[in-house]
Structure 1
Amino acid sequence: MKAKFVGTILRRARGGGRISLLALGLCFWFGNSARAAEPPLVRIAHGAFNEKVEALWTGVEQGFFRKHGVSVEVINIRSGPQTMAALASGDIHMAYTIPGSVLSAAAGGMDIAFFTGVVNRGDGDFVVAPAIRRGEDLKGKRVGVQSIGGGVWSMTMLALEYLGLEPTRDKILMMVVGDQAVLTQAMTTGNIDAAYVGYTFSTLLKEKGFRVLLDLGKAPIPYQGLSLATQRSYLKQNPQIVDSVVRAVVESIAFIQNPSHKEATIKSLMKNLRLKNVQEAESGYQALQWLYSLDIKPNLKGIQNMHRLLAMTNPKMKGVRSEDVIDEGPVQRVEKTAFYQDLVARAKR
């Protein structure tokens, strides 16, 4: 409607200078008005390459972010330190990340906080070569990770600890290999002997004869998984934008856990994880049914457990409190809304 009206003004403006100036002024006003109507852009970075990112992918693909008033761009940045550097520089606005990255950034002086807990429990499998049957068989072996201090490393360290192993003492070589797709490939080629991977990639390895030594989703290990974090200055200056992101993520979770939307979620997993068929995506889809929850408060006990691990290798961690990297304000505001309460009520039916 606006474009048609502007075109009419320009056609009628050919006859005189005054009218032309008026026409140009009106065009300028309409152009600015259209731009003003665009929702604010929010860049969210993640370093994961597994089914747990689906809440963000669904939010974009199903239009939930735009519905709640923000335009979200989901960006993959492979390592936690790079993600934190991008957050500090303003290249991204939020990070979908894990406690290791946030605590390390806080120890380095960044005023950062988790404002949601999207994955509030451990998950995924610690997969080993077929010849490995017990934890002690891993002594002297090669274990692949994505980066030191990242999410895969965190889960790997917790798995080794649960199995009674310690990398230095037991001469376990921790090898930085790549994301979970690369780790899966490294397992199949024999370049590493063990790796933590999500359920989607674990299924692919099990089909090739590899063994699951530990399912971290079943082990009683407190853990805070992938969650949204940003600088506190951003939280203070943009409460409406932050709340909009929280609303959209919650609606994405409700969508994913609704059986009637299974086909759409499977297609999204296949596209974003570059899977070949429905069967490969099925295990990831099933995992999301219990991994995700509409209770999205950050998990303090999980963050404290990760904090304990990191403090073993980083003395600066002693100057940070786990409580200092949590801001429950956005979740508390959203939980009071009729929108959120309606989602929870419908999920219980």
Structure 2
Amino acid sequence: MKRASRKFASAIFLLLWIVGATAGNAVGQSERPLRVAWSSISSSQVILWVAHEAGLFKKYGVAAELVYIPSGPLIIQAMLAREIDIAQTAAPAVVAANLSGANLVVAAGINNTFVYSFRVRSGIKTVGDLKGKKIGVTRIGADSHTAVVFALKKWGLDPDRDVTVLQLGGQPEILAALQTGIVDAGPLSYPQAGRARQLGISELADIGGLGIPYQGTAIVMRREQIETSRELMLRFMKGMVEGIYLYLNREEFAMSVIGKYSRIKDRELLAETYRINGQRYLEKIPYPTIAGVQNIIEQLALKNPKAKQARPEQFIDSSLVAELEQSGFIRQVSGAREVMGR
């Protein structure tokens, strides 16, 4: 009898240990920070920075770890390897990955146009002057490269024949190459575009003002996350959306965040970056742009036959933004205050 009691007690102890260990693992999994990648030291990334610095993700019960990966294609590779949970990057790499079998979606559109100022060295006064010149981009296939391709085609130039495109690594590297003459032109986002202005490197065009629909900076998730971890993804999106309105209504704080991540202290540059981003580029209700994704598909179809049968809706899931709008959350966080750009 005593032996049976000891066996029973041992069994209960083992059961409790297993339950405890399982519960502990579950807690550990739920507390693991979301690894959120961002792709460029530019104002296009500022809403993620603002939401993080203001503690908005924590406000909605989300632990988020920000990771800088300076390339859209590299970010997508990290997402496919499950090293990154959510990304803030442009859509071309998402569309390209899905055409190869991935299952990623654009869940929100932060910038639904190009956010680049096309800067040129002295001697280039017109679009025609670009023929035979060298243009710097961050990486081939990255957002800055896509912007150059679309702009050149808009101007009637062939990106493959009329210019030479060099990949330089990042926005600061493009600016440095413009200064030293390694390249003759390049797309710069703010604040680097503002610094170029200060250095006398003139603007040939605001690419975002060319009227080209384009899914620029976006929030990218795995489709399965929206289905199986919807509440967590929704809480993350709440932080992002509130970040938009915090940015628009707290200028000094937003400027300080831009300065921290760009390592710029020049108040003139920070103010210019804040103003231009809010007025020209930032979506107030961040639905993705179907027309912008369609443009990306058509561009990829020139070299990838799979893209010819694709539809933009395949790459978009705007249900989180729609839920936040329909629930009144966006109206609540926007408040009754006047918002920049309205």
**Corresponding position of 1:316:** 306
**Corresponding position of 1:241:** 232
- Please show how residues 198-217 of structure 1 align to structure 2 within 5 Å: 198-217=189-208
Residues 95 and 209 (structure 1), Cα distance of their counterparts in 2 relative to 1, 3 Å cut: same
Q: What residue identity is the alignment partner of 2:113? A: R
Question: Could you tell me how far apart the structure 1 residues matched to 2:55 and 2:306 are?
Answer: 41
Assess if the C-alpha contact under 8 Å between 2:44 and 2:115 holds in 1.
no
Question: Could you tell me how far apart the structure 2 residues matched to 1:207 and 1:88 are?
Answer: 40
Q: Which of residues 98, 101, 115 in structure 2 aligns to 1:109? A: 101
Q: Which of residues 284, 292, 314 in structure 1 aligns to 2:273? A: 284
Question: Could you tell me how far apart the structure 2 residues matched to 1:321 and 1:32 are?
Answer: 44
Question: Could you tell me how far apart the structure 1 residues matched to 2:29 and 2:186 are?
Answer: 47
**Corresponding position of 2:76:** 84
CA offset digits 1:118-168 (Å, max 9, x no partner) = 112232211111110011111111001111111111111122122221122
**Corresponding position of 1:299:** 289
**Corresponding position of 2:332:** 342
Q: What residue identity is the alignment partner of 1:288? A: N
CA offset digits 1:56-99 (Å, max 9, x no partner) = 11111110001011011111112222211211121111111112
Aligned length: 320
Which range moves more in the overlay, 275-284 or 90-99?
Answer: 275-284
CA offset digits 1:231-285 (Å, max 9, x no partner) = 1111111101111111101111100100xx2111111111101113212212211
Which range moves more in the overlay, 101-110 or 302-311?
Answer: 302-311
Residues 323 and 37 (structure 1), Cα distance of their counterparts in 2 relative to 1, 3 Å cut: closer
**Corresponding position of 1:268:** 257
Residues 81 and 37 (structure 1), Cα distance of their counterparts in 2 relative to 1, 3 Å cut: closer
Assess if the C-alpha contact under 8 Å between 2:134 and 2:165 holds in 1.
yes
Question: Could you tell me how far apart the structure 1 residues matched to 2:145 and 2:198 are?
Answer: 24
Assess if the C-alpha contact under 8 Å between 1:45 and 1:94 holds in 2.
yes
Q: What residue identity is the alignment partner of 1:164? A: G
Which range moves more in the overlay, 266-275 or 306-315?
Answer: 306-315
Question: Could you tell me how far apart the structure 1 residues matched to 2:313 and 2:228 are?
Answer: 21
Assess if the C-alpha contact under 8 Å between 2:298 and 2:308 holds in 1.
no
Question: Could you tell me how far apart the structure 2 residues matched to 1:301 and 1:136 are?
Answer: 28
Assess if the C-alpha contact under 8 Å between 1:43 and 1:72 holds in 2.
yes
Question: Could you tell me how far apart the structure 2 residues matched to 1:186 and 1:316 are?
Answer: 36
Q: Which of residues 112, 115, 121 in structure 2 aligns to 1:123? A: 115
Deviation at 1:348, TM superposition (A): 4.4
Question: Could you tell me how far apart the structure 1 residues matched to 2:314 and 2:300 are?
Answer: 16
- Please show how residues 1-349 of structure 1 align to structure 2 within 5 Å: 39=31, 41-170=33-162, 172-258=163-249, 261-290=250-279, 291-348=281-338
SS at match of 1:218: helix
RMSD (CA atoms): 2.3
Question: Could you tell me how far apart the structure 2 residues matched to 1:158 and 1:200 are?
Answer: 22
Question: Could you tell me how far apart the structure 1 residues matched to 2:283 and 2:259 are?
Answer: 22
Assess if the C-alpha contact under 8 Å between 2:148 and 2:187 holds in 1.
yes
- Structure 1: give runs of 5+ residues left out of the alignment: 1-20
Deviation at 1:347, TM superposition (A): 4.2
SS at match of 1:253: helix
- Structure 2: give runs of 5+ residues left out of the alignment: 1-12
Deviation at 1:32, TM superposition (A): 5.7
SS at match of 2:87: strand
Assess if the C-alpha contact under 8 Å between 2:35 and 2:64 holds in 1.
yes
Question: Could you tell me how far apart the structure 1 residues matched to 2:186 and 2:169 are?
Answer: 11
Question: Could you tell me how far apart the structure 2 residues matched to 1:38 and 1:223 are?
Answer: 35
Question: Could you tell me how far apart the structure 1 residues matched to 2:193 and 2:73 are?
Answer: 26
Q: What residue identity is the alignment partner of 2:288? A: P
SS at match of 2:151: helix
Residues 36 and 88 (structure 1), Cα distance of their counterparts in 2 relative to 1, 3 Å cut: closer
Q: What residue identity is the alignment partner of 1:286? A: R
Assess if the C-alpha contact under 8 Å between 1:103 and 1:320 holds in 2.
no
SS at match of 1:251: helix
Assess if the C-alpha contact under 8 Å between 2:39 and 2:45 holds in 1.
no
TM-score normalised by length of structure 2: 0.87
Deviation at 1:326, TM superposition (A): 0.5
